[in-house]
Amino acid sequence: MGTGVLEPLWTLLFPPRCPACGCYVEARGGWCPACLRAALRVRRLVLTPAQRGALAAGWTLGVYEGALRDLVRGLKYQGRTEHLYAIDTFLRAAAPMLCRLLQEDGGARQLGARFDAAAAVPLHASREQQRGFNQTERIFAAWLAGEGLSLERLLVRVKETRPQYGLSREERARNLEGAFAPAAGAAIRGRRILLLDDIFTTGTTALHCAEVLRGAGAAQVAVLTLASGQNR
């Protein structure tokens, strides 16, 4: 993400602004305090009985609306990788709240102590080639490294699927049937896996991925997403 030695010049030419309200902030990727507080909502996800059968727990960090939604959409659909600066600031602000929530749920406060590896929901190869990256990997990679948790490609998407947006829960399930498989040579058996996605809507994608991981021998799977419209 960084521009290295050119960062001071970049800041001079393009003064950083809050991604939500547009007011000037001190550094690139910064938010004004009020907008950051509004976007942050670290909480447990409400899982259905079927999801609880495959997922030990679920958490999300923010509200999928306003600036956070625009940052994710710009990254995914327009290749706006500069949005990662603001997303990284958001993640670092959310980290202490997530640690407290993890402690309340029992066990280690740090992700690196609680899980053995993290895995992003995969894109189909053609979609990733078109986009140039997996947005979930780009969102979480640097932050996870600081948390002491490795990001590994444990899953592949073996079937091209329609976008989930606008589909009913039943349509989402049919769309994703048979879409995921363990990656070749992936170390899954006996490990505690943190599944990552950018957005949690109905949880259908997380469920299908978790079922594949559990079927491949994962000891435990939990899900963490950047944002969700659930329980606003």
Q: What DSSP state is assigned to residue 65?
A: S
pLDDT tens-digit map of 142-160: 999 999 999 999 999 998 7
Q: CA-CA distance, 207 to 164, in Å (whole number)? A: 14
Share of the chain above pLDDT 90, in %: 76
Q: CA-CA distance, 20 to 122, in Å (whole number)? A: 29
For residue 67, give the nearest of 46, 93, 36, 41 by alpha carbon. 36
Q: What is the CA radius of gyration of the chain?
A: 18
pLDDT value at 30 more than 90:
yes
What the chain holds in terms of domains, given with CATH numbers, is 29-228 (3.40.50)
Q: CA-CA distance, 75 to 215, in Å (whole number)? A: 32
pLDDT computed for residue 130 by the predictor: 92
∠ Cα 62 134 187 (to 5°): 100
**In whole numbers, what is the pLDDT of the chain averaged over residues?**
90
The backbone torsions φ and ψ at residue 228, rounded to the nearest 5 degrees and listed phi first, read: -155, 145
pLDDT tens-digit map of 128-140: 999 999 999 999 9
pLDDT tens-digit map of 163-178: 666 656 677 667 677 8
pLDDT value at 5 more than 70:
no
Q: CA-CA distance, 94 to 39, in Å (whole number)? A: 10
The backbone torsions φ and ψ at residue 179, rounded to the nearest 5 degrees and listed phi first, read: -80, -25
At 39, the amino acid letter reads A
pLDDT tens-digit map of 198-213: 999 999 999 999 999 9
Q: CA-CA distance, 71 to 52, in Å (whole number)? A: 30
Q: Which two tokens mark 17?
A: 């602004």
Please provide the size of the chain in residues.
Answer: 232
pLDDT computed for residue 178 by the predictor: 80
pLDDT tens-digit map of 56-85: 999 999 999 999 999 999 999 999 999 999
Beta bridge partners of 220: 192
